[in-house]
Chain A
Amino acid sequence: MEKMLEVKNLMVFFENALALNDFSMAVERGEIVGVLGSNSAGKTTLMNTISGLILDMKKKEERRGGERISVLGELKFEGEDILNKKPSERVKKGIVLSRERHPIFRDSDVVENLKIAGYLHKRHEVKERIDLTFKLFPHLQGMKKRKAGLMSGGEQQMLAIGIALVAKPRLLLMDEPLLGLSPMLQADLVRAIKNIRLAGITVLVTEQFARTLLPIIDRGYVIENGMLVFEGSRQELFDNPEVKSAYLGI
C-alpha cells in the first residue's frame, strides 16, 4: 500500500527546547493509527506540525518577537512535500485536525458550529457532511439549536469531531479525543472512530492511556520526550511489557 502520510526525521524546536526529536512515522490509507504518550511527550506538537497550525504559531511568535519555533525534517502527504504549506492548503488536501480539549465555537449553536466548519466547501457538500455527523452522533441531532458553550464535555467533544468531519478530511487527526470523558462516553467515541473509518476516512489519534483505544487501532507509536520509543502493530503493543506497564497499567 502507498503511504498516505510520511513523517521523516522530524525535529521541532521551541527556542532551544526540543519538542520533537528525530521523529519518524507513517500512516497508510484506511488505517487507524495511534500515538501513545504521556503529558507533554510531544503528541500535540506532532499534531500541530502535521496540520500546519505550528506554522501559524511560528508566524505569530516571530511578529511579537517571542519564542523562535523551528521545524526541520520531512513531511509528505501522498508523496507531496507539505512541510511549508499553510493550514488552509492542508485542509484542502484533506488533512483536518480536531484539536485537544474539545475546542468549539462556544457562542454558536450546534448547526452553526458545523456550518462554520464548511467554509471551504460547497453548500450541498456541507449539508451531506452535517448529516453524516448526526448519523455518527445521533445524540447531537436532538440539540441542533443548543449553544455549544452550554453543552457537556462529552457533547462538546462529539461536536469538535463533527466540526473536523464537515471540513471533509481524508486523514483525520484527533488530538486526545478521549481526554476527560467518562468511560461510557469514551466507549461511545471509540465506536464513532470505528465508524469514521468505515466512512472511508483514515484516522491518526493520540492518547495517554491505551486501554480504550488499543482495541481499535491497527498500529501504534509510543512517544516519550519527543522521541519515538516503540512502534508496532496492535498485538505487538499489547505484548510489549513496557507499554503494558506505562500505558495499560498492568
Chain B
Amino acid sequence: MSLLIYGTITSIILALYAAGFSLAYGISGLANFAHGALYILTGYSVWTFLNQIGLPYFLSALLSVIIIGFLGFALYWGLLLRVRGVPLAELIVTFAAGIAILELLMWKGFYGIQYSLPLFVRGGVKLGGVAVDYQRLFVIGTGIVLVVLLYLFVHHTKIGLAFRGMAQNERTALSVGIESDWIGSLSLAAGSALAAVAAVVVLPLGVMESAIGYEVLIYALAVAIIGGLESTPGMILGSFIIGFGQVATAKYLGPKWMIIVPLVAIILVLAVRPSGLFGQFKELEERI
C-alpha cells in the first residue's frame, strides 16, 4: 500500500518536473536545458519575496511563476532567436543559460537549511494505514488540475490551438498566419511557467539548493526520453515507470540506489526503442 501511494506521489512529482520541458519540446522542438535551473530559480525567487520583501506566500508564488514564465519568453527572444532551427546550438545556448543561473545561485550562497519554503498546510492523514502529509496530497491535486487545465487550454483557446498547429505542421501553420517565433517563445514561456508551478508545490517538501536544478533536468530528460519527446501520454507513462521504479528500488534495495533508476531506464529505452515508447520521431539520436 505504501508502495502504491508513494509510487503515485513520486510519479506525479516527476510528471510535474517533465511537463514544461515536454510541452516546449512538443510544440516548437526546443529542448530547454535551462529547465532545471528555472525550476530552482523559482524557489529562490519565492523565498526572496517571502523572507526579504515580506509578501504573502500565495502572492510570492504567483509572482515567481509569472517572472519565470517571462524569463523563458526573454530567453527565446534574447538568446535563442539567432540560433533557432539549429538544434545543437539551441541545446548549447539553453544549457549555458541554465549553468549560468545555477552557478550564480551557488555563488550567491544559495544553500543551507535556512533556504526552505514553508509547507502550505501542516499535518496529514492516514490513507489505508499509510501516513501522507497534506503537502504531498496537494502535489497530487496540482498534478491532476494541471493536466485538465492544459488539456482545456490546448484544445479550446486560440493560442492553444496555434500550439497544436505549430507542433504538427509548421509550414501549414505559417500559411494560415500563425507565426513560429511568437508561438515558439510562448511555448518556452509556458514551459518555464510550468517548471515554476512544479517548484512552488514540490520544493516545500525539502531543503533547496542549486544542485536540485541538475537533478530536475535529468529527471525531465529521463521521463521525456522514455515516453518519447513529443507525446503527452508517453510523458505520463514515463513518469509512472520511473516513479514506481524508484520507490520500489528504495524499498527493496535501499534509497541510495534510487538515482540508478532513471539512468538505467534511459539506457534501456535508447537501446531498444530510441524514439521512446510513444515517440514518433527518430530525432533523439541526433539530439542527445
Chain B residues contacting A194 (CB-CB under 8 Å) are: none
Interface 0/1 of A119-133, CB less than 8 Å to B = 110000000000000
From DSSP, what is the main secondary structure of chain B's interface residues? helix
Interface positions of B from 222 to 277, Cβ below 8 Å from A: none
Instruction: Specify which of A53, A92, A116 is in contact with B165 (CB 8 Å cutoff).
Output: A116
A109 smallest CB distance to B (angstroms): 10
Bound complex: CA A184 to CA B168 (Å): 30
Find the A residue at minimum CB distance from B173.
A116
Bound complex: CA A99 to CA B175 (Å): 8
Instruction: Specify which of B84, B86, B169 is in contact with A105 (CB 8 Å cutoff).
Output: B169
Interface 0/1 of A140-168, CB less than 8 Å to B = 00000000000000000000100110110
The interface-forming segment of B104-112, B116-124, B177-185 is B177-185
Interface 0/1 of A74-105, CB less than 8 Å to B = 00000000000011100110001111000111
A53-B175, A63-B85 in contact; A119/B164 too (CB < 8 A)?
Answer: no
Tell yes or no: B282 within 8 A of A by CB: no
B29 smallest CB distance to A (angstroms): 12
Contacting pair B177 A119 (CB below 8 A): yes
Interface size, B (range): 20 to 34
Contacting pair B179 A103 (CB below 8 A): no
Interface size, A (range): 20 to 34
Tell yes or no: A67 within 8 A of B by CB: no
A186 smallest CB distance to B (angstroms): 22
Contacting pair B86 A91 (CB below 8 A): no
A63-B85, A112-B155 in contact; A164/B175 too (CB < 8 A)?
Answer: yes
Tell yes or no: B83 within 8 A of A by CB: yes
Chain A residues contacting B86 (CB-CB under 8 Å) are: 63-64
Bound complex: CA A166 to CA B85 (Å): 28
Bound complex: CA A88 to CA B161 (Å): 16
Tell yes or no: B158 within 8 A of A by CB: yes
Bound complex: CA A166 to CA B180 (Å): 19
Tell yes or no: A107 within 8 A of B by CB: yes
Bound complex: CA A119 to CA B176 (Å): 8
Tell yes or no: A3 within 8 A of B by CB: no
Contacting pair B168 A106 (CB below 8 A): yes
Chain B residues contacting A91 (CB-CB under 8 Å) are: 175-177
Chain B residues contacting A103 (CB-CB under 8 Å) are: 169, 171-172
B85 smallest CB distance to A (angstroms): 5
Interface 0/1 of B174-214, CB less than 8 Å to A = 11111110000000000000000000000000000000000
B161 smallest CB distance to A (angstroms): 5
Tell yes or no: A135 within 8 A of B by CB: no
Instruction: Specify which of B158, B168, B180 is in contact with A56 (CB 8 Å cutoff).
Output: B180
Chain A residues contacting B179 (CB-CB under 8 Å) are: 86-88
Contacting pair A116 B161 (CB below 8 A): yes
Instruction: Specify which of B84, B158, B169, B172 is in contact with A63 (CB 8 Å cutoff).
Output: B84
Contacting pair B171 A92 (CB below 8 A): no
Contacting pair A115 B161 (CB below 8 A): yes
A64-B85, A112-B155 in contact; A92/B177 too (CB < 8 A)?
Answer: yes
Bound complex: CA A242 to CA B261 (Å): 70
Contacting pair A163 B171 (CB below 8 A): no
Tell yes or no: A202 within 8 A of B by CB: no
Chain A residues contacting B85 (CB-CB under 8 Å) are: 60, 63-64
Tell yes or no: B75 within 8 A of A by CB: no
Chain A residues contacting B173 (CB-CB under 8 Å) are: 116
Chain A residues contacting B158 (CB-CB under 8 Å) are: 118-119
Supplied contacts A88-B174, A167-B177, 17 more A-B pairs, CB within 8 Å: A51-B175, A60-B84, A63-B82, A87-B179, A91-B176, A91-B177, A99-B172, A105-B168, A106-B169, A107-B168, A112-B164, A115-B161, A116-B162, A117-B165, A118-B158, A119-B158, A167-B176
Considering the complex of A and B, which 8 residue pairs feature the smallest CB-CB distances, nearest first?
A: A91-B177, A116-B165, A167-B176, A105-B168, A88-B177, A120-B177, A117-B176, A103-B172
A contact set with B: CB distance below 8 Å: 51, 53, 56, 60, 63-64, 86-88, 91-92, 96-99, 103-108, 112, 115-120, 160, 163-164, 166-167
CB-defined A-B contacts under 8 Å, sample of 13: A56-B174, A63-B85, A63-B86, A96-B175, A96-B177, A99-B172, A99-B175, A103-B171, A108-B165, A116-B173, A119-B178, A163-B176, A167-B175
